[in-house]
Amino acid sequence: MDKADPPSAQDWDFPSEEELVDWLGEMIVIRRFEEQADALSLKGMIPGGIHPAIGQEAVAVGVMHALQQSDVVAGSHRSHHHALAKGLSPKRVMAELYGRSSGVAGGRGGSMHLADFDLGLWGSNGIVGGGLGIALGAALGAKQLGLDRIAVGFFGDGGANTGRVWEFVNLAVAWTLPLISICENNLYAVETESAAVTGGVSVAERAAGFGLPSEQVDGQDVLAIFEATSRAVERARAGTGPSFLEMLTYRFKGHNTGEVGRYRSDEEIALWRDSRDPIERLSARLQGAGALPPERLLELETRAHDIVQDATKFAEDSKCSDPSTAADNVSVWNNWKGHAQ
Amino acid sequence: MNDASMSYTAAFQQGVREEMLLNDSIFIVGTDLYERGGHWAQAKGLGPEFGRNRVKDTPISEAAMVAAGVGAAMSGTRPIIDLNFIDFAYGAMDEIANQAAKIRYMWGRPVPLLIRATSGVALAGPQHNNSMEMLFASIPGLAVVTPATPRDVKGLVKSALRSEDPVIFLMHKKLTGVKGEVGGSNDLVPIGSAHRARQGQDVTIISHSFGTVTAMEAAATLSKSGIEADVIDLRTIYPLDEEAVLASVRRTGRVVILDEAPRFGSLANQVAAIILDKAFWYLDEGIKVITAPQSPVPHSPELVAAIVPSEVDVVAAARALVASR
């Protein structure tokens, strides 16, 4: 941002309707990818299972459109949507879920460890709150190196009850780091209702106590997400420090594939699916504005279907990494032979 | 060549300072560093010299300190995270074990992170005297160094600040003020190299860190009765310099391993296992392993003395081995 600009000057543009159609297409790709991955996982094709992000697509798409490609994102255990929205190839993500050599981590990481440093995805993370720590460090690194780069760390309502998350938020405030902490509050930490185990008014209120801009956002409204994130991005790029966003969202499926969930009522799930589906909402909005004729929607669906089928075929046709390399590249010292001086 | 006598802790400061002058991306993060220079004077003077951008005071938030270091290292900087006492690393174990140690393996991204802390058994009771070197050494992806001399502190910290992967740098409390010569600005001690601190043919004594001091005292005592010990100071716990250990065993055929940690899962047992695996037929006697019992470290100095292995224990073990010649 030009330093001559007044601080109130808005540094982003609202998307056009045509751009929003593209965003809808991205959300549909994520939805179909996750449905396919969930089904493949149930069939035993994906070792170890996955944590599907069905229902949370708007968060990823809205946030990523507020960022530059060079900005850093670090995710959580539920991060396929982050990875796809950040631009990772569905083929290489699916291949990683399969554990194949053509996967983004060559089969070393899997569903919870997707990364592509060229695209600014500094890993999803299997440890609750862990991704925010990587993002904190990336924000520090950017500041030390004088880079115009900001960092976003995702975690959930479960992460909001870990100590480390608040250590990270506090340090980002103390050091005025360009970090955006995003809590995807989907109401349940695995199978525990977060409201039953969480003190205080809300996660966003708790964050506000650390002395940074903090707000709750409708996590099923991609435009609201984009706007809130854009404001936070603007503050971070201007050097005024970190922000905190609590996205109110919901996962339509269980915590993990195959979960036999008895902790949520059918009515609650139906309420979110029927009236708070981020894809349905954006679709209805665009249709209402006359920007999404039925044939265009069909096009988006067909394209998503093809992308997911191609990704699956790519994964299935790919080979595993050479087993003899399973313990390679652990550290520069692992092949050390030793010598006395 | 700089042969000025310098303390163990000042050697760390000097090594870091020299590397900071060479490499702008090195910065140091920890508690009470800028003004005080750290609780051991290990960063004394670096604050005013390099400024607050490169000497950063933190809250007592170990997880945040290490996490910030991990991400900053992934960004291409070289952070030094000073945890003060290594016991406080328990508050950052996920960031060390699950993040720093695994990122190269998962994603091929180097994490050039140096974590420094004061370690070893001394005073201050059960929660400030944990022997954690094997906890870290057993985590794939980490290097662990435990220098015994000012020369090795300086040479090893310079190597660590030029390496690509995370290093746990452990400095023993009881060595803090010990003085000795240090190398010059181009004298590096490679990570993974042991030091043959004394040459002898009768018995091998293997130790590291403050244990090397005890081993050298024992060797001096043994020498008075005609027993010449070969003393191996491991200097690095992982990657262990197996060849230095095995070469000494082949020379003497008799081995004492000294370690102030509790025996179960100890470095001493690990070294014994390596010797049995790779030099069994060179042994003339069973290996003598001297460690602490399976116990926390107490407060009372008399009780500490009852737990920590001493020179007397080492001398007795060596004499017993040699007596059977």
Chain centroid offset of residue B71 CA: 25
Cβ contact (<8 Å) for A133 and B232? no
| Catalytic residue flag (residue B128) | yes
Q: What does the alpha-carbon distance between residue B47 and residue A117 come to, in Å, rounded to a whole number?
A: 33
Mutate to test the interface with A, among B31, B106, B196 (most CBs of A within 10 A): B106
pLDDT of amino acid B111: 98
CATH number of A17-255+264-316: 3.40.50.970
Size of interface A-B (CB pairs under 8 A): 167
Which of left, alpha, beta for B38 (phi over 0: left; psi -120 to 50: alpha)? left
What structural domains does chain B harbor? 5-181 (3.40.50.970), 195-323 (3.40.50.920)
Q: How far apart are the first and last CA of chain A?
A: 55
* A20, A94, A127, A273, A293 from A286: Cα distances, Å: 8, 30, 38, 19, 9
Q: Which pLDDT tens digits describe chain A residue by residue (341 residues)?
A: 333 444 455 777 889 999 999 999 999 999 999 999 999 999 999 999 999 999 999 999 999 999 999 999 999 999 999 999 999 999 999 999 999 999 999 999 999 999 999 999 999 999 999 999 999 999 999 999 999 999 999 999 999 999 999 999 999 999 999 999 999 999 999 999 999 999 999 999 999 999 999 999 999 999 999 999 999 999 999 999 999 999 999 999 999 998 888 899 999 999 999 999 999 999 999 999 999 999 999 999 999 999 999 999 999 999 999 999 999 999 988 865 554 44
- Listed in sequence order, the residues at least 6 apart from B105 whose beta carbon sits closer than 8 Å to its beta carbon are A108, A329, A330, B140, B141
Q: How far is A43 from chain B (nearest CA, A)?
A: 26
Kindly report the average pLDDT of chain B as a whole number: 97
Q: Which helix (H) or strand (E) holds A189?
A: strand A188-189
Cβ contact (<8 Å) for A338 and B142? no
Residues of B in contact with A168 (CB under 8 A): 63-64, 67
Work out the average pLDDT over B169-196.
97
Q: Does A151 touch chain B (CB under 8 A)?
A: yes
Q: What is the pTM of this model?
A: 0.96
% helix, strand, coil for chain B, step of 5:
40, 20, 40
User: Rounded to the nearest 5°, which phi and psi values hold at A114?
Assistant: -85, 135
Q: A288: exposed, middle or buried (C-beta count within 10 Å: 0-12, 13-18, 19+)?
A: exposed
Considering only the beta carbons, identify the residue of B53, B103, B165 that sits closest to A333: B165
- Listed in sequence order, the residues at least 6 apart from A129 whose beta carbon sits closer than 8 Å to its beta carbon are A155, A159, A162, A164, A165, A168
